[in-house]
Amino acid sequence: MVSKIKCISSSTILACLAFNVNAESLSIEKYQQAERQLGKHTEKLVIGTVEHPNWTENNKLTYSSQTQHGKQFFIFDPVTKEKQLAFDHQKISHALTQLTAQEIKPKKLPFNRFNFTGDKLISLTVEGKSYQCNIESYLCQLNKVAIKDNELVSPNNKLAVYIKQHNLWLRNLSDNSEKQLTTDGLKNFAYATNNAGWVRGDKPVVKWSPDSKKLTTFKHDSRNVGEMGIVSTAVGHPTIDVWKYPLPGDKNIFKIHRVMIDVEQANVVVLDMPADAHRSTITDHVAGRDGSLLDIDWSSDSSHFAFVSSTRDHKTATLKIADANSGKVRTVLTETANSFFESGVGGISWQYLDQSNEFIWFSQRSNWGHLYLVDAMTGNIKNRITHGDWTVLELLNVDQETGKLIFSGAGKEGGDPYFHYLYSINKNGSNLTLLSPEQKHHRITLSKNAEYFLDRVSTPNQAETSFIRSTSSKSGFIVEQMDITKLTDTGWQAPTPFIVKDRNNEHDIYGLMYKPSDFDVSKSYPVVNYLYPGPQVGSIRGRHFRTARGDNQAIAELGFIVIEIDALGTPGRSKNFHDFYYQNMGDSGIPDQVAAIKQLAKKYNWIDSTRVGIWGHSGGGFASTRALLTYPDFYSVAVSQAGNHDNRNYADEWGEKYHGMLVENEDGSTNYDSQANQLLVENLKGKLLIAHGTTDTNVPPYNSLIVVEALIAANKDFDMLMLPNRGHGFARKPYMMRKRWDYFVQHLMGLTPPKEFTFSE
């Protein structure tokens, strides 16, 4: 029998649940149904996908696709409109089976990407090893001079640079010969070091010149910078990992001393300028995902390059030009923002036009992200290129001969302001042309010559159609049509997009809602609020079709309504929208989360706003705890994972960009107190589960432990899960996911979860 205890308010519900010792159990079938909503199961039920697209040097599109015959790899010629298998899957699987001495099935080739390295040669990677295969003879061999993970390759694909003993070395990929490029690198003052504190790697940070004869990089100065330490869990002596990790307010942060290196002569030219703060105009590192140095644009003749220096507080960006032979540096322009300067939304969107001695410059000075044409000699703006109450997302290509620009943008076509579109325009601002016509979300992959683009078109609840389209005409044709019949036949349903108002009833706020597939309008459902507060991204992260968005639908299947929104303070719209809680990270858009749920509950009587839980990871781990502490009578339960609960314990580039420089007051308080969760623990009323990986080098576990220490001092009840030897990426790993589901079922729904549910392989 289920005990009959009436809970009359949200503030008493937890006490009721605590005494409801004979609570009904939630069936294991519910968990099994929830598991079937995870991507590893739903993705198998869809065909006609386009995954891992890549344009070859001769402008053909290669991609993998889920088909009725399993995963297959295709090559598509946009001129002839011919689509064919990129290779014979049976023959290549046989060749790889012989070479690797392990069975490789044609339907389950163990790689996602491949690259054409010649007309008949492809390179691919299997279990970390690189192979080269001839797709005419189907002879495969281990690539003995394959590019290594710690190398960055030149544009001509003949050279690679790597770091050894704090210096840069060069490897010739044709004969495997090596040459030392620098000799004065030292520990903590080394060349091309890839370390931002919160992330680090072995690959050097450089930007090659177009002719592959030079590169620009820096000496990474971490002398006197504070250290971070992580200790593993082991029987016997643990592994102790100690590295340089600057924090907000530190006297010393990373500095980069810029240099240019002639790789043929092994000659180092130091740029004639002071060291820069370790900052970029777009992210919290000076390196891109491929390891390339950001904010660098070489001239086409490799004689000089343009770059941007950013101040420590991220407010000021200075555009400069350096002579690659002398190291002389000239300033072109400087722009300062009241909050923080960014050179794009989707990616760095300034570019040097050396043929006309001009720059394309991205600025949000009008409150919207737009492109400007700048004179490279005077730094004066020659003309605005784009304008209006919408934003340029990313500059993708500039044809210096014709002056035609291709870029992505959002907010101009009406409807959902987060839908991305592709446009072309002349650099004088004329002939703005929409290249992606449907009022949906467009995922764009531009060809090497910028004549064609792959356009994957969908919405969160409409399956994707993939086109190849021309950038010079409105012509296009379908490459793949996604078929979700098998998926919908299982009872799967897409999330429901919705629009509400922000806390001040000023801005439209866009979100997605997930309901259980056996939804009953006569029932009342508790709410689970998933959030990632930003400021660099929001919760939803892309409006394209997905068969699963994390475990949102899975949690809904357990008997919840799951809600996620992109609140004030997240990017992709106006500058004011993005800057909303600048210098007040404690806000994190949480009042908008509360306002959204209240509005939805008022509209739908099946939403129970007296039973609301919240969860998030990393920034969401911080914000979910923050929500429980700042709205203790609204949120009843929080699962907070890997949270940066006080940004004084997190990376300097993050905190100083979004919360500002640390200011200490005479009374010992600081401007960072307003975002420190440990200072609010007295407010705790609900159930809180704090989880963290003990070897998290992105958000070190001390970020959670300072809150735990304060909770103990305040004599508060809470739950904690420390995951030994886990890093930052455990958000949806099986054990954590199961514990999260259990926590909401037990404390928000008032039921007993199935004991130790095991996910299938």
Distance, in Å, from the CA atom of 50 to the CA atom of 385, rounded to the nearest integer, reads 33
| DSSP secondary structure of 614-625 | EEEETHHHHHHH
Single-letter amino acid code for the residue at 159: L
Structure token digits, residue 335: 């722009």
Facing residues of 433 across strands?
Answer: 424
Is the peptide bond prior to 754 cis by the omega test (within 30 degrees of 0)? no
Separation of first and last alpha carbons in the chain: 35
Single-letter amino acid code for the residue at 635: Y
Number of H helices, E strands in the chain: 12, 46
3-class DSSP state of 506: coil
For residues 181 and 169, the answer to whether their CB atoms sit within 8 Å is yes
3-class DSSP state of 735: helix
- Contacts with 634 (C-beta within 8 Å, 6 or more apart), sequence order: 10, 594, 609, 612
Within 413-483, residue ranges assigned H as helices are none
Distance, in Å, from the CA atom of 88 to the CA atom of 74, rounded to the nearest integer, reads 10
Q: Per residue in 423-448, pLDDT tens?
A: 999 999 999 999 999 999 999 999 99
Distance, in Å, from the CA atom of 412 to the CA atom of 419, rounded to the nearest integer, reads 10
The CA-based dihedral angle spanning residues 652, 656, 661, 663, taken in that order and rounded to the nearest 10 degrees: -70
Residue 10: per-residue pLDDT: 46
Q: Give the largest CA-CA distance in the chain.
A: 85
Task: Find the helix packing angle between 702-713 and 619-630, rounded to 10°.
Answer: 20
Distance, in Å, from the CA atom of 556 to the CA atom of 653, rounded to the nearest integer, reads 36
Instruction: Kindly state the DSSP code that residue 237 receives in the 8-state scheme.
Output: S
Distance, in Å, from the CA atom of 576 to the CA atom of 188, rounded to the nearest integer, reads 39
Q: Which stretches of the chain drop beneath a pLDDT of 70?
A: 1-23
Distance, in Å, from the CA atom of 91 to the CA atom of 140, rounded to the nearest integer, reads 10
Smallest Cα–Cα separation from 465: which of 476, 474, 473? Answer: 476
- Contacts with 135 (C-beta within 8 Å, 6 or more apart), sequence order: 86, 87, 88, 92, 120, 121, 122
Q: Which long-range contacts (CB under 8 A, 24 or more apart) does 87-95 make?
A: 87/122, 87/133, 87/135, 88/135, 88/138, 91/138, 92/133, 92/135, 92/138, 92/140, 94/138, 95/133, 95/138, 95/139, 95/140
Single-letter amino acid code for the residue at 349: S
Smallest Cα–Cα separation from 318: which of 338, 306, 304, 335? Answer: 335
Length of the chain: 761
Residue 8: per-residue pLDDT: 42
Distance, in Å, from the CA atom of 502 to the CA atom of 427, rounded to the nearest integer, reads 37
Q: Per residue in 583-635, pLDDT tens?
A: 999 999 999 999 999 999 999 999 999 999 999 999 999 999 999 999 999 99
Place of tokens 């690959």: 203
Residue 5: per-residue pLDDT: 38
- Contacts with 445 (C-beta within 8 Å, 6 or more apart), sequence order: 53, 54, 55, 61, 453, 454, 456
3-class DSSP state of 39: helix
Single-letter amino acid code for the residue at 510: Y
For residues 580 and 568, the answer to whether their CB atoms sit within 8 Å is yes
Neighbour-count burial of 605, counting CB atoms closer than 10 A to its CB (0-12 exposed, 13-18 middle, 19+ buried)? exposed
* DSSP element (H, E) containing 554: helix 552-557
For residues 200 and 194, the answer to whether their CB atoms sit within 8 Å is yes
Distance, in Å, from the CA atom of 143 to the CA atom of 125, rounded to the nearest integer, reads 10
| DSSP secondary structure of 153-217 | E-TTSSEEEEEETTEEEEEETTT--EEE--S--BTTEEET-EE-SS-EESS--BEE-TTSSEEEE
Residue 373: per-residue pLDDT: 98
Distance, in Å, from the CA atom of 375 to the CA atom of 619, rounded to the nearest integer, reads 40
SS (H, E, C) 90-127: HHHHHHHHHHHCCCCCHHHCCCCCCEECCCCEEEEEEC
Chain centroid to Cα 639, Å, comes to: 22
Smallest Cα–Cα separation from 383: which of 401, 405, 367, 399? Answer: 405
Q: Per residue in 653-695, pLDDT tens?
A: 999 999 999 999 999 999 999 999 999 999 999 999 999 999 9
Distance, in Å, from the CA atom of 587 to the CA atom of 531, rounded to the nearest integer, reads 13
The CA-based dihedral angle spanning residues 353, 357, 362, 366, taken in that order and rounded to the nearest 10 degrees: -150
Single-letter amino acid code for the residue at 316: T
Which pTM was predicted? 0.94
Neighbouring C-beta atoms of residue 91, cutoff 10 Å: 15
Residue 3: per-residue pLDDT: 38
Question: How many Å is the Cα radius of gyration of the chain?
Answer: 27
Single-letter amino acid code for the residue at 415: G
Look at phi and psi of residue 718 and say left if phi exceeds 0, alpha if psi is from -120 to 50, else beta: beta
Distance, in Å, from the CA atom of 689 to the CA atom of 108, rounded to the nearest integer, reads 39
Q: How far is CA 90 from CA 61, 82, 134, 138, in A?
A: 22, 21, 14, 10
Structure token digits, residue 341: 């300067």
Burial letters 13-34, b for 16+ CB under 10 A, else e: bbeebeebeebeebeeebbebb
Number of Cα atoms under 13 Å in the Cβ half of residue 58: 9
Structure token digits, residue 676: 């420190």
Structure token digits, residue 187: 């520990």
